[in-house]
Amino acid sequence: MSKEVCPELTRLLRVQRHDFINHAQVIHAFLQLGKTDRAMRYIEELCKDPELLCSSLSQHKSIPECVRKVGQ
């Protein structure tokens, strides 16, 4: 039985993926430029960011209700 995921959950996952890729690119750039100390500070700042720790997915209260059988 196949399942379909609600559009809002898909949107939130795309936002989260986009943000993650942006952070990875910033860290990569610092490392390419030899700024390892700046890369470390950036990572430390990310770890302290409450928005990063509280995923945007937590805003979506009805995740169990989101997954539904196709055709129903």
Over the chain (72 residues), what is each successive 10-residue block's mean pLDDT? 70 88 97 98 90 66 56 46
What DSSP element (H or E) covers 20?
Answer: helix 7-32
Give helix 7-32 / helix 36-48 axis angle, nearest 10°. 150
Q: Say what the pLDDT of residue 61 is.
A: 61
**pTM (two decimals):** 0.70
- Is residue 52 within 8 Å of 46, Cβ to Cβ? yes
- Is residue 60 within 8 Å of 7, Cβ to Cβ? no
Enumerate the β-bridge partners of residue 30. none
Residue with tokens 């996952």: 13
Q: Say what the pLDDT of residue 71 is.
A: 43
Q: Say what the pLDDT of residue 31 is.
A: 98
Q: Say what the pLDDT of residue 68 is.
A: 55
